[in-house]
Structure 1
């Protein structure tokens, strides 16, 4: 949704393109509030739950790996969170297909979530995985060194050096400090949606994409986890077939999720609450600052008031690469408007996304 999520708007950053791909690249979204149900566990008095949930969590000490050569932190209580969806084929993800099949991981979805001062509003900027960038030299999560690389795909940063390299690449691209890091995998996303009881969306046209195994007639549907996963990773059944169209579907799904999550008993049913917390903590990898239930509770509790009506969702301004229709290039002047707005804790101006490539799928899915 490069033009401020305006339904039906078509970008002028390049011609309509169908981007054939032989392999199924999967998109996955996760938002910071998927762990919000943990907050209420503080009132259960069941201390053993904390021990179990703490044991589920995985964390990465990104601050230690990256050291002090980073953008400075904001001087207010705003926060930037890099949210990645990974497509590792390890464990339960093998059954979902696609990918290399060798247990390695890629980041197929990347979002910068900017929580504004006061934690009442959020801005979400999606970064297309197919964006051509210059990746800085980085140290991988295991301490290995990787030289800088020019003209590579954005998602290669994660596959090269893991979470720490992905964070450094985003900070180099944006000039913004990433205060936190959250990552989730395919099987976890599917389970989270099922634990939430599904998410209701309305499709304005038929979606039929054999690549993502998704077939939905136009109309209103309550998607289970498998269907939701198909929706957020489909690209060939909507818009121009590009990753940009898939990002628009992901953003629409996030809006639908945010509108419904507090209406399905998550915060009133102890059983549902625990199931969600158990699944979320098994699914999510965090930075070390969020690597305990208490810290994750505090963080998630600060986001509970952010709903669909006070989220602004955009895509990093890009244009199609004239040398390769399967890639996009950063519109640097417009992207600077986005990063300057977030640095100043201001909404992203409409001028930042007008006239950029969109993927042409902005009106396919909405909340009912």
Structure 2
């Protein structure tokens, strides 16, 4: 039948939209693909089908590469199929993740799901003919954080309807996309130059150094979903994702646990109407449940032992990916998969960025980062704190020398020591410009008068005799040190240390002439910036954390979609 994964379902499910409700079916809250509300049955609702499985494809790609160590030699020839794009097109570049005290380095990988319709395969899978010539959107964005000691993994999803400020992005050909003057929906970042601008937007918002990205379309998803051999998922009630006017994914499942694969798995992963409150937030939670369950299945059963089948699946996955230059070889992807494979499912935590519905005019149904709790989640990733509250493993015994670094992809199989840190110049030789940014980003307060001069004088007393008050100002909520070139990184870090600022306050930027100290709203008075609050030790409940070992997770069903 149509709702049960048949050929008719494929026609109506893969090409058909997960569209708007009508009649007595409760309309969901949430934003459209671009402007306007998600309510109703217009083109924005038909586009819901295209956000489904790019994240699934990316994780499957990694799992397939990791599970298939025996088939490694079979797909070396795929090197020529790997597509690459620039890692970061923005002005702010934080550099790579920093080693911990034991010389181990965490990894942050941004997984981007593109809805591009740039070839026949993707057009056939997703339909939506009205978007074939349109700019691609980053409708799935998930940051995967692998801890420095490889004991745990965190995934942070950002809802596609999140509103934020877009950074300035400059493409390799010189095309400039100016910074937005107002809030823009996060999925539009991809159309501002490519995945490097999506990375830049995440960097601006979270201050997390992103080491790699993987951008995925969905033409290889169907064959990979079948290869899993079935994934158990759970619903609290009978569910049928079909509105009265025939829209929806068509998913039809009885209450309880069902083993799904193939077309039915596709339906599960793209279902919005029928799960929770009918928004993309519920769909994200369903995807988290599916991926955790899939990871457990891979651990329990060696399903991909056929080298020929593995090769075809790996080829489908790789041809569907665009990666940054740091992942441009099969051996680098293989090394990355081996690093990811070290984490047991019980130490994988899936989360969604804490959010609130926007109350701004014209943004009905859109969301914004939840003040405080979203930053808490980002800070935990920045500081390599496990989201599950279990802490890290024991990387080295007390008193021992630093452990070898689990190095970046491409050399992950080789133990390497962390590179020696650059030596900063003496404070008296470090030129510093001090800018008054005490009004904050929202401009709600006037800048503290004369603050740049006061802080420049304070720095001179600490030996930074070349510190001068700049006539240019800024707008920062927290005090930050920015520097222009790699040679200035150690000096900028020394300045931050002298002031008691955290390492995360030091940023590389193309918009400053040298080392610039922006005195933020948090330091309007006094001789020292306020000490940061202790970091959280567990993800906030508003992040909806889901542990990889939780095989009891079950999706709540939206009223009006039961049978």
Q: Which band: TM-score by shorter chain?
A: 0.7 to 0.9
Match of 2:231 among 179, 195, 199: 199
Paired position in structure 1 for 2:111? 83
Match of 2:350 among 313, 318, 343: 313
- Written as runs of structure 1 = structure 2, the 5 A alignment for 1:257-268 is 257-266=294-303, 268=305
Shift of 1:43: 4.9
Shift of 1:355: 5.2
Distance 2:236 2:73 in 1: 46
Paired position in structure 2 for 1:73? 96
Shift of 1:252: 0.9
- Written as runs of structure 1 = structure 2, the 5 A alignment for 1:173-322 is 173-209=205-241, 210-266=247-303, 268-322=305-359
Paired position in structure 2 for 1:27? 52
- Does structure 1 residue 37 correspond to structure 2 residue 37? no
Moved more, 129-138 or 81-90: 81-90
- For 1:302, what is the secondary structure of its paired residue? helix
Distance 1:142 1:170 in 2: 22
Change in CA separation of 1:36 and 1:241 when aligned onto 2, cut-off 3 Å: closer
Change in CA separation of 1:27 and 1:353 when aligned onto 2, cut-off 3 Å: farther
Change in CA separation of 1:99 and 1:308 when aligned onto 2, cut-off 3 Å: farther
Paired position in structure 1 for 2:145? 114
Paired position in structure 2 for 1:163? 195
Shift of 1:39: 4.9
Structure 1 length-normalised TM:
0.84
Paired position in structure 2 for 1:12? none
Shift of 1:169: 0.4
Change in CA separation of 1:46 and 1:71 when aligned onto 2, cut-off 3 Å: closer
Moved more, 225-234 or 310-319: 225-234
- For 1:124, what is the secondary structure of its paired residue? strand
Change in CA separation of 1:122 and 1:208 when aligned onto 2, cut-off 3 Å: same
Paired position in structure 1 for 2:555? 364
Shift of 1:221: 2.7
Equivalenced residues, count: 343
Shift of 1:194: 1.8
Change in CA separation of 1:39 and 1:308 when aligned onto 2, cut-off 3 Å: closer
- For 2:374, what is the secondary structure of its paired residue? helix
Distance 1:42 1:270 in 2: 10
- Written as runs of structure 1 = structure 2, the 5 A alignment for 1:91-110 is 91-95=120-124, 96-98=126-128, 100-103=130-133, 104-110=135-141
**Structure 2 stretches lacking a partner, 5+ long:** 1-25, 30-38, 100-104, 242-246, 388-535, 546-552, 557-563
Distance 1:39 1:239 in 2: 33
Distance 1:33 1:117 in 2: 22
Q: Answer whether contact 1:107 1:158 (CA < 8 A) is retained.
A: yes
Shift of 1:155: 0.6
- Does structure 1 residue 18 correspond to structure 2 residue 31? no
Distance 2:329 2:79 in 1: 6
- For 1:72, what is the secondary structure of its paired residue? coil
> How big is each residue's C-alpha offset from its partner over 1:290-333, in whole Å with a ceiling of 9 and x where there is no partner?
11101111111111132431111111111011344420111132
Distance 1:40 1:314 in 2: 24
Change in CA separation of 1:175 and 1:112 when aligned onto 2, cut-off 3 Å: same
Change in CA separation of 1:100 and 1:121 when aligned onto 2, cut-off 3 Å: farther
- Does structure 1 residue 333 correspond to structure 2 residue 360? no
Shift of 1:109: 1.1
Shift of 1:220: 2.9
Q: Answer whether contact 1:239 1:245 (CA < 8 A) is retained.
A: yes
Q: Answer whether contact 1:335 1:352 (CA < 8 A) is retained.
A: no
Change in CA separation of 1:225 and 1:170 when aligned onto 2, cut-off 3 Å: farther
Task: Name the larger-Rg structure.
Answer: 2
Change in CA separation of 1:56 and 1:206 when aligned onto 2, cut-off 3 Å: farther
Richer in strand (by share): 1
> Per chain length, whose mean CA-contact separation is higher, i.e. which structure has more relative contact order (CA < 8 Å, sep 6+)?
1
- For 1:158, what is the secondary structure of its paired residue? helix
Change in CA separation of 1:141 and 1:363 when aligned onto 2, cut-off 3 Å: farther
Distance 1:195 1:267 in 2: 7
Distance 2:346 2:543 in 1: 24
> How big is each residue's C-alpha offset from its partner over 1:239-263, in whole Å with a ceiling of 9 and x where there is no partner?
1111111111111111111111234
Match of 1:145 among 168, 176, 179: 176
Distance 1:40 1:315 in 2: 27
